[in-house]
């Protein structure tokens, strides 16, 4: 996962969240007028190098004109400038089937926004929420689980509901394993365990496999609904 911004002299190459293009954010506006900047003259160190000033520089998306702000360190000219940070942060959005319910889409997109700002813990928790709500909408609120005596018991545990979707052949065994490892367990770590850092690659896996599960349920919706009907699942169309 890459926030995708890079300093090029007098411009930042970045993904724009408004036009969703990787484009140039420039330091000049219309008629080539220079955008504003706040300059802090102060000798300081950044990244192991000495600089004489800090700039908070305004930028403009070359495609849609959205504004941006970059924090730069330099020694009086753009040739020596180093970009420390850039706003807006954006990452490439995953494609979702058209049939995914709006609330699931919005929650999934909000996880992407969190991740774009480095908030991988909250993003991962949100992806777990998307998984759980997807199962609920498709009739997996409570499932029958075998008991040692040969009977069954009712369970609302997410682990059992994921397993039930695999038993019903909605998701594959491989997807079942990923739903546990990459989405459920990671989300549980965030919600229930002591604080720990969630790494970008952990979020990436959760993001990718949540997308895959949404595809399993909504890419070929008529087939899925037919199977849910056979299995007597009280799903939402």
Higher pLDDT, residue 21 or 38:
38
Summarize the confidence of residues 124-142 as an average pLDDT: 97
User: Given a cut of 50, is residue 154 above it in pLDDT?
Assistant: yes
Q: Would you list the DSSP string of the chain?
A: ----EEEETTEEEEE-TTT--EEEEESB-GGGPBPPEEEEEEEEEETTEEEEEEEEEEEEETTT--EEEEEEEESSSGGG-EEEEEES---PPPP--TTS-HHHHHHHHHHHHHHHTT-HHHHHHHHHHHHHHHHHHTT-SSEEEE-TTS-EEEE--HHHHHHHHHHTTSS-HHHHHHIIIIIIHHHHHHHHSPP-PPPHHHHHHHHHHHHHHHHHHHTTHHHHHHHHHHTT-----
Give mean pLDDT, residues 215-224: 97
Average pLDDT over every residue of 163-175: 97
pLDDT band with cut points at 50, 70 and 90 for residue 17: confident
Residue 127 has pLDDT above 80, yes or no: yes
What confidence tier does 2 reach under pLDDT thresholds 50, 70, 90? very low
Asked if pLDDT for residue 171 goes beyond 60, the answer is yes
For 65, list phi and psi in degrees, rounded to 5.
75, 10
Q: Does domain 102-230 have CATH number 1.20.120?
A: yes
Q: Indicate the domain borders of the chain.
A: 5-87, 102-230
Report the share of the chain in percent with pLDDT over 90: 83
Residue 1: pLDDT above 60?
Answer: no
Which residues have C-beta within 8 Å of that of residue 156, sequence separation ≥ 6?
A: 141, 142
* Token pair recorded at residue 184: 């459920």
Q: Is the pLDDT of residue 118 over 50?
A: yes
Please state which of the ranges 21-30, 68-77, 127-136 shows the lowest mean pLDDT: 21-30
pLDDT of residue 24: 94
Distance CA 191, CA 58 (A): 38
The predicted structure's pLDDT at residue 4: 64
For residues 156 and 93, what is the distance between their CA atoms, to the nearest angstrom?
Answer: 31
**Pick from 72, 75, 83: which is nearest to 43 by CA?**
75
Residue among 139, 133, 140, 129 at smallest CA distance from 206: 129
The pTM assigned to this predicted structure is 0.78
* Averaged pLDDT score across all residues of the chain: 93
Q: What is the mean pLDDT of residues 219-234?
A: 97
Six token digits for residue 147: 């008991």
- pLDDT top residue among 202 and 17: 202
Contacts of residue 3, Cβ cutoff 8 Å, sequence gap at least 6 = 89, 90, 91, 116, 118
Tens of pLDDT, residue by residue over 65-100, are 999 999 999 999 888 899 999 999 887 789 999 999
Distance CA 131, CA 82 (A): 41
| Averaged pLDDT, 30-53 | 92
């Amino acid at each position: 996962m890459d926030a995708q911004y890079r300093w090029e002299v007098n411009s930042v190459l970045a993904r724009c969240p408004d036009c969703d293009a990787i484009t140039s954010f420039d330091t000049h506006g219309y008629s080539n007028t220079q955008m504003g900047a706040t300059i802090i003259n102060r000798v300081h160190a950044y990244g192991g190098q000495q600089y004489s000033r800090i700039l908070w520089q305004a930028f403009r998306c070359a495609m849609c004109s959205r504004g941006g702000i970059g924090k730069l360190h330099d020694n009086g000219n753009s040739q020596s400038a180093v970009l420390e940070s850039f706003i807006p942060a954006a990452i490439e959005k995953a494609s979702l089937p058209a049939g995914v319910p709006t609330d699931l889409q919005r929650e999934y997109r909000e996880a992407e926004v969190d991740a774009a700002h480095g908030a991988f813990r909250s993003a991962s928790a949100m992806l777990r929420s998307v998984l759980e709500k997807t199962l609920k909408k498709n009739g997996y609120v409570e499932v029958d689980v075998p008991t040692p005596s040969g009977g069954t018991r009712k369970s609302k545990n997410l682990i059992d509901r994921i397993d039930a979707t695999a038993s019903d052949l909605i998701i594959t065994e491989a997807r079942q394993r990923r739903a546990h490892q990459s989405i459920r367990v990671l989300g549980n770590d965030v919600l229930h365990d002591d604080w720990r850092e969630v790494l970008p690659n952990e979020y990436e896996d959760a993001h990718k496999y949540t997308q895959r599960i949404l595809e399993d349920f909504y890419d070929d919706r008529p087939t899925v609904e037919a199977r849910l009907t056979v299995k007597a699942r009280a799903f939402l169309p």
